[in-house]
Structure 1
Amino acid sequence: MNRQREWTDRFRIFLNNKFVLFLLVLLLIGLNVLVFSKVPHIFEPLRVLAKTVLLPIILTGIVYYLTNPLVDYLERRKIKRAYSILALYLAIICVVTLIVVAVVPLIRDQVQGLIDNIPYYSAQIQVQFEDLIGSEIFNQIQQTLGLDTTALMNDLSNRATDLLKNAWSGIGGFIGALTEVVLAIITVPFILFYLLKDGKKLPHFILGFVPTKFRGQSFRVMVEMHRQISSYIRGQIIVSFCIGALLFIGYLIIGLNYSLVLAIIAACTSIVPYLGPAIAITPALIVASVTSPIMLLKMIVVWTVVQLIEGKFISPQIMGKTMHIHPITIIFVILTAGNLFGIVGIILAVPGYAVLKVIATHLFRYFKTRSGLYEEERTVSANE
């Protein structure tokens, strides 16, 4: 009897250990994930639901973080929130109409011209490449590295052919994806209206499902997540717009063809930190190099100046230090998210990492205070 009571006491002490209990909870979660992964059809409705609502929610969230400060400002000016939202919608309709009437035809003409000149650009690049192959310097490099240019060109041709075949076969998938995007855009205004009108009630609604003991900590986590996401979305979009505007002005000054299209491409790709500008410079390099060597030099100068202005003045003032994420970490996060989730992962990599970082930081602080495994740091005086 005493031996049984002794084992019971030991087992109770074992379970009262918070670290052991934490490991047991993780083990149970892992077992549940393992069991449900063996029956994936259970998650099929959830996957379809997530696929359906994810894009509208993402688009609505982006527009919400851009427009909510204006609605809050009008509300502080004693204008009812519903009237502020209505005025905002009217302003957006006017801006969209102006863009469709004035800017879209210009973009269409430049895109059509760029598409029509693709054969010319391809021929010019091929001529320049053949001139480079015939040079003595390239021949020396080829002999040193053992390159077979014929095999290399054949391989590139085969890859291009395969790419075209895959693109042709993927037209159906592209049309389906385009339909989903159009439907998502149509639903954004309806979701955005209710989010702008009742968005402040959402955190308290979510806290209603959280145990009372954890509501204070959960609210602080949501506030910090909201601050991180809002600062990143607003800052990155403003920075991207500034980059596009500066490049458009620079391209107009040097007389680069298709300046508006190239600037829009640069603005869109600059949403991805660090890697976006490297992608955006490629089409501009092609157009400038085919035009003339002087134009290529001018384009590089414009791009360098814009990047210096963005790095030294625009980003520090707009983005600041709110993210507290090292650039190397951002690059690895973007590459990993791109491999896992494609283009959507690349776009959402940084804000998603910021949210996970906030959650992990607060969980660690909670574990640190509750476990008793960490002693509080104390300042050592000079007399000790």
Structure 2
Amino acid sequence: MNRWDSTPIIRFFGGRTLLYILGILLIIGLNILVYSRVGFLFHPVLVFVKTVALPIILSVVVYYLLRPIIQMMESWRIKRVWGIIITLMLVVGLITLLIILIVPFLEKQFISLAEELPQYLRDLVNTTDQWLRSSVVGNYYNDLFQDVNGILNQLPDLSTYAAQTVEGITSFITTLTNVVIAIVTLPFILFYLLKDGHKLPNKIVHIFPPKARKEVMSVFKGIDHQLSAYIQGQIIVSFCIGIMMYIGFLIIGIDYALLLAAIASVTSVVPYLGPMIAITPALIIAIVTSPFMVLKLAFVWTVVQLLEGKFISPQIMGKSLHIHPVTIIFVLLTAGHLFGVVGIILAIPGYAIIKVFVTHLYVWFKKRYNRYVDQEDQYETEE
């Protein structure tokens, strides 16, 4: 008599493995239910995770950036530990050089822009107001303007928001503390990642049963490839965008060229949405400067985006992630809504990791299905 877990339907879905998966899903669901009821008990754990997450994420990013250099030094028969020490010393020297040469100039532009920003915004509002009043929608705009003024006059006094201000200051102090902790712990975590990071998958794989180790190692290799391609490629692309933007801003003569180029370089790590965010401060300055400056800025921005989209990204990153642009936009919007700015930054690599898991799970089920079909064919042949 056949066991119930060897029936055709159960075998089709993976046999006992199906029960293991259902059991894991049940445990996850129960954990979510318990957390939703007594989440306050896990507050210390959440604080610990939030404190540790930032240095670990930064260490992983820097690890993937420096790993090719370490591997190159090993090919030159330099011991791994010495290669790590030399690389870290070079990185510290490069950062020190950038701080000495670029940061003071960048800081000067930032302070100047912060002082001039209120005036830029006032000029922008006045320019937009004059344009709307003189346009074909002028009458509708006047009525809307009066309605908005009436609503604003009914708003409570700013003094009622003192509690929110205190909360904002507390949040800023907490964030600053986490950043300081991340900077202090980053070198130590990074050193051990560079030293033993390549051994970590093998150690984790041995936790699993021998039959599953090959599949688990394949998952680790897929995740490693995805993260390596994305992080290394995105940093190089962002650097290229910053250089091209800076050259373009210098050519058209827009104010705060270095600062605006730095903003464009940093925000470009977010696909599709990053360039829109980067162009906003430059567009405000261009509108206040002159209409011709807006045209020149639009030309520079278009040229840079075309070069990045048609030549730089395909050559550097290729299609390693295999993610459709529409999927990227939905992932960014969802992650941004759930986790804010951090979610937007980590959305694409996080989605790539999940995709690796799902893909390998699908392939595993497909193998089980093919094995089931082969067995059935064999039974039919024997009959």
Q: Is the TM value for this pair above 0.5?
A: yes
CA contact (8 A) 2:336 2:343 kept: yes
How far has the Cα of 1:116 moved from its partner? 1.3
Q: CA deviation at 1:142?
A: 4.1
- For residues 78-112 of structure 1, what are the alpha-carbon distances to aligned partners after superposition, in whole Å with 9 as ceiling and x for unaligned? 11111211111121121111111111110111011
Amino acid across the alignment from 2:147: A
- In structure 1, distance between residues paired with 2:111 and 2:160: 22
- Is residue 219 from structure 1 mapped to residue 212 from structure 2 by the alignment? no
Provide the rounded CA distance (Å) in 1 between the counterparts of 2:149 and 2:251.
37
CA contact (8 A) 1:337 1:349 kept: yes
What's the counterpart of residue 193 of structure 1?
191
Alignment check: 8 A CA contact 2:133 2:139 kept:
no
**Amino acid corresponding to residue 46 of structure 2 in structure 1:** R
Look up the equivalent residue of 1:131 and give its one-letter code: Q
CA deviations over 1:271-316 (Å, ceiling 9, x no partner):
0001110111100000111111111111111111111111111011
In structure 2, the gaps of 5 or more residues are 375-383
* Greater Cα shift, 236-245 or 362-371: 362-371
Partner residue of 1:382? none
Q: Compared with structure 1, are the counterparts of its residues 235 and 187 closer, same or farther at alpha carbon in structure 2 (3 Å cutoff)?
A: same
Classify the secondary structure of the residue corresponding to 2:255. coil
In the superposition, the TM-score normalised over structure 1's length comes to: 0.87
How big is the alpha-carbon RMSD for the aligned residues of Structure 1 and Structure 2?
A: 2.8
Counterpart residue number, 1:17: 10
Question: How do residues 22-171 of structure 1 correspond to structure 2 at under 5 angstroms?
Answer: 22=18, 24-25=22-23, 28-29=26-27, 32-33=30-31, 36-37=34-35, 38-41=37-40, 43-139=42-138, 142=141, 148-152=144-148, 166=164, 169-171=167-169
2:287 corresponds to which residue? 289
Within 1, Cα distance between the matches of 2:350 and 2:159? Answer: 34
Query: Structure 2 CA distance, aligned partners of 1:123 and 1:160?
Result: 22
Q: In the TM superposition, what whole-angstrom CA distance separates every residue of 1:172-223 from its partner, at most 9, and x where no partner exists?
A: 2111101111110111111111111111111111112111111111111100
CA contact (8 A) 2:229 2:320 kept: yes
| Cα distance, 1:190–1:123 mapped onto 2, change above 3 Å | same
Residue of structure 2 in register with 1:356 after alignment: 354
Answer whether contact 1:228 1:355 (CA < 8 A) is retained: yes
Shift, 1:29, TM fit: 3.0
Q: Which structure has more RCO (C-alpha within 8 Å, separation ≥ 6)?
A: 2
TM-score, structure 2 length as denominator?
0.87
Instruction: Report the number of matched residues.
Output: 366
Residues 132 and 138 in structure 1, CA contact (< 8 A), matched pair in contact too: no
> Aligned partner of 2:144: which letter?
D
Q: How does 1:327-346 map to 2 (within 5 A)?
A: 327-346=325-344
Distance 1:122 1:129 in 2: 10
Q: What SS does the corresponding residue of 2:271 show, helix, strand or coil?
A: coil
Q: What do residues 215-236 of structure 1 show as CA deviations (whole Å, max 9, x unaligned)?
A: 1111111001100011001111
Contact 1:36 1:42 in 2 (8 A): no
Task: Give the direction of change, closer, same or farther, for the CA distance of 1:160–1:270 in structure 2 (3 Å limit).
Answer: farther
Using the alignment, how far apart are the partners of 1:294 and 1:213 within structure 2?
A: 67
Offset of 1:134 from its aligned partner? 2.5
Q: Give the AA of the match of 2:120.
A: Y
CA 1:76–1:135 in 2, change beyond 3 Å: closer, same or farther? same
Structure 1 stretch displaced more, 33-42 or 78-87:
33-42
Partners of 1:362 and 1:169 in 2: how far apart?
Answer: 45
Aligned partner letter, 2:359: T
CA contact (8 A) 2:133 2:141 kept: no
Q: Give the Cα separation in 2 of the matches to 1:83 and 1:77.
A: 12
User: 1:162 deviation in Å?
Assistant: 9.9
Aligned-residue sequence identity (percent) comes to: 47
CA spacing shift, 1:193–1:371, aligned 2, 3 Å? same
Report SS of the residue matched to 1:315.
helix
Amino acid at match of 1:64: Y
C-alpha separation in 2, matches of 1:125 and 1:251: 20
Structure 1 gap ranges (5+): 1-5, 377-384
What code does the residue aligned with 2:124 have? I
Q: CA deviation at 1:31?
A: 5.1
